[in-house]
A and B are shown apart, each in its own frame.
Chain A
Amino acid sequence: MASQGSMRLAAFDEMLPEVSGLRRPYSAYDRWLKEQDPARLTEKMQDAERVFRKTGITFAVYGEQEASERLIPFDIVPRIISGNEWRRLTQGIEQRVQALNAFLDDIYHRQEILRAGRVPRELIARNEAFLPEMIGVRPPAGVYTHIIGVDIVRISEDEFYVLEDNARTPSGVSYMLENRETMMQLFPELFQKIKVRPVENYPQLLRQSLAAVRPQSTKGAPTIAVLTPGSFNSAYFEHAFLADQMGVQLVEGQDLRVVDGHVAMRTTEGYKQIDVLYRRVDDSYLDPLTFRPDSALGIPGIMDVYRAGNITIANAPGTGIADDKAIYSYMPEIIEFYTGRKAILGNIPTWRCSEPDSLKYVLEHIDELVIKEVHGSGGYGMLVGPAATKKECETFAKKLQAKPSNYIAQPTLALSTCPILTEKGLAPRHVDLRPYVLVSDRIQIVPGGLTRVALKEGSLVVNSSQGGGTKDTWVLDD
């Protein structure tokens, strides 16, 4: 029986495509690699693991009790992108991020895109990610989604597609930074030979970006804090890491309360006002007075402070409506509607199972498609048709028919591959890319991002919760 998500596909290899031979961006690295003693590389691989375990960069996986602190595997072969490729990508990403913010502003105000009939009204009205509490609220500086992680896949030399827009609370940026740090520790000589654009200044950029969107009423330098659900959250390491690198407080809901119309944190010297809150807590937990009343992770009354314009919440509540998988399929229309141009970065063709014609097609081709839950994330609850058994397909088809609007389907793409180092030498594995975008009065994209890699041979599922690993991502300064 084939394991979940694994199959044979003729994929484009980013280092060594079968047809054209070694690609330019990898030439200097390849030269260096050929001079290395394989035994030394294996040693370096073990060093990397030791570094990660020692510094406590672990990832808690839900549902795996004994392995509650597990490392995300790291591969020491970098994924390399040329300067030209990167410029093309950034143009597409910028356009997309502009459209996302314009869409959010529109959806919570005049809803012109609905009036124009470009996005169906019921898709918004009956969507849990749409927050009626945000209607008519204008966030400080007019920015809704401040930090975005755009998941991009490649299938050939020139074809890049956006797989997902993570516009709520994208995670993983700490791995981008730690992966680079680790690579520089392991292979300092490589960075002297090859000019790689730096990513280390991301925390400073994030801090500046958050400061730039402070409430208008803020006097002097704004006080910024990172809100975490707590030290048992799976991404706690990242929350602590970012707060630390930015030099701001890492707070939990229990540290905060509303004092005199502002959100304030309880300190050793009494309550201190917070101006900008980079929250890593989901919308529904943010304010028990407005959303889930049983939430102990939020701050009672923060939404009132927000509506009064006295705090910036990044990302704004309700941004989830922009990265919902059902909305995703309308992104080409959304981009055109707000920017007046065709999307530079394409979408993967998507069948919305809510539409009868599409549903029929999906059911007929279930063994060829990837089917995802509209609100799912992390690779849970999806079916990779070509890798599934007949029985798995049948079971899934029943779920699909029971609630079609809960699913979308996409063709199974042959994601590009990059080599990883295995015990038997280099071997190709499928990858994707998540660059990180910061929005304030401008849009900034750090040259690099998180490359996720499916470590199992042939697997297409790159999520860390499903056995994926990561790589350092190099954007060449050429």
Chain B
Amino acid sequence: MLLGRTANGLYWMNRYIERAENMARLVDAGLRMALTRTQSASEEWNSVLLSAGSDVTFSQKYSDYTAANVADFLLRDTSNPSSTMASIETARNNARMVRTALTRETWESINEAWMSLKRMLARPIDERDLPSVLDAIKRETALIRGSFYGTMLRNEIFDFSQLGTYVERADNTARILDVKYYVLLPSISWVGSTLDNYQWESILRSVSAHRSYRWVYDADYKPTNIADYLILNVRMPRSLMFCYRFLSEHLEFLGDDYGERHACHATAEKTQTMLRAGSIKGIFDAGLHEFLANFIRDNTKLGEEIAQDYRFN
């Protein structure tokens, strides 16, 4: 038994930690594209903003889609509630609120991440320092994850935390795919141009999977394989399938602990069954964009149901 407010705090703490890291990953992928292709860099940055769900708020503030502007907006601007700095701040506020539910190590790693990022992101980032800043962000969130997995008891506190992580991650991966879905559609030639190759690599890079892809599939990038990897591969830690495997598992634990099943259980199970039975060909035949749009909608609904069913709204 947990306070509803505590469950809420754990859930959002972990969503925001995940988000803080995802922002760094997206900027990383965008930077790579901008470095390798100078021509349509602003287009690339725009799709980075789209994936981050921050395109509208960005355009209210800036007219130039440059690395400096986008990095500033996605990493350090606290007026952007999804920026890395704002996310870490929100995560820490939630952690403070649920402090009694966290191990000392977990709390300290979040607190230290907040302190060190606050220092690092206090001033605009020099473009030369951007790679090392991105590394530092990923390192801080990795430390949080490490102390969390290494020290937390596997109970309902852990379950609600993981629900936050995987709902956020599934949303993030689906958005990255949806923004670039058109580059994955079968082209007339089926052989990717150089441009396509960059695009494909960029997608994989935004989920830190450009190396592991080669361990699983052929060395060459194929759009169907990339889609398969990010949607259906159960071993790939940022795939939709992976996220739903764990969402279902943690919801099952909660259902068993409390002896009660809710609407969220049905929703998660429905999505998991759909992914398990699905084939990448089927998804492409029915329309990749439609598939992703449905997925994002259902995933959002799952988040709302969890909050309702466990009384944290």
Do A266 and B99 touch (CB < 8 A)?
no
**Mask for B1-16, Cβ within 8 A of A = 1, else 0?**
1111101000000000
0/1 string, A199-240, CB within 8 A of B gives 1: 000000000000000000000000000000011000010001
Tell me if B111 counts as interface (CB < 8 A to partner A).
yes
| Most A CB within 10 A of own CB, among B97, B104, B112, B115 | B97
Is A265 located at the chain interface by the 8 A CB criterion? yes
CB–CB A254/B5 < 8 A: yes
Q: What's the interface size class on B, roughly?
A: 20 to 34
CB–CB A268/B258 < 8 A: yes
Helix, strand, loop or mixed for chain B's interface?
Answer: helix
* Inter-chain contacts of A55 with B (CB < 8 A): 104, 107-108, 111
From B3, B7, B258, B312, A265 is in contact (CB under 8 Å) with: B3
Cα A265 to Cα B4 in complex, Å, equals 9
The answer to whether A56 and B4 touch (CB under 8 A), given A231-B96, A236-B96, A250-B100, is: no
Interface check A269, CB cutoff 8 A: yes
C-alpha gap A254/B5 in the complex (Å): 9
Q: Does A282 count as interface, using CB distance less than 8 angstroms?
A: no
Query: Is B47 in contact with chain A by the CB < 8 A criterion?
Result: no
Asked if residues B111 and A243 are in contact (CB atoms below 8 Å), the reply is no
Kindly report which residue of chain B lies nearest to residue A244, judged by CB atoms: B100
Query: Which of B3, B112, B156 has most A Cβ within 10 Å?
Result: B3
The size class of the interface chain A forms with chain B is 20 to 34
Task: List the A side residues contacting B1 at CB < 8 Å.
Answer: 267-269, 272
Q: CA–CA, A230 to B3, complex, Å?
A: 14
Across-interface contacts of A350 in B (CB, < 8 A): none
Q: Using CB atoms, name the residue of chain B closest to A270.
A: B311
Are B3 and A54 closer than 8 Å at their CB atoms? no
Binding site for A on B (CB under 8 A): 1-5, 7, 93, 96-97, 99-100, 104, 107-108, 111-112, 115, 156, 160, 254, 258, 260, 310-312
A268-B160, A268-B311, A269-B258 given; 16 more Cβ-contact pairs under 8 Å:
A55-B104, A55-B111, A230-B97, A231-B93, A231-B97, A240-B100, A249-B100, A250-B100, A254-B5, A255-B4, A267-B2, A267-B4, A267-B311, A268-B2, A268-B3, A268-B258
Q: List 27 A-B contacts (CB under 8 A).
A: A55-B104, A55-B107, A56-B99, A56-B108, A230-B97, A231-B93, A231-B96, A231-B97, A240-B99, A240-B100, A243-B100, A244-B100, A249-B100, A250-B99, A250-B100, A251-B3, A255-B3, A255-B4, A266-B5, A266-B311, A268-B3, A268-B7, A268-B160, A268-B254, A268-B258, A268-B312, A272-B1
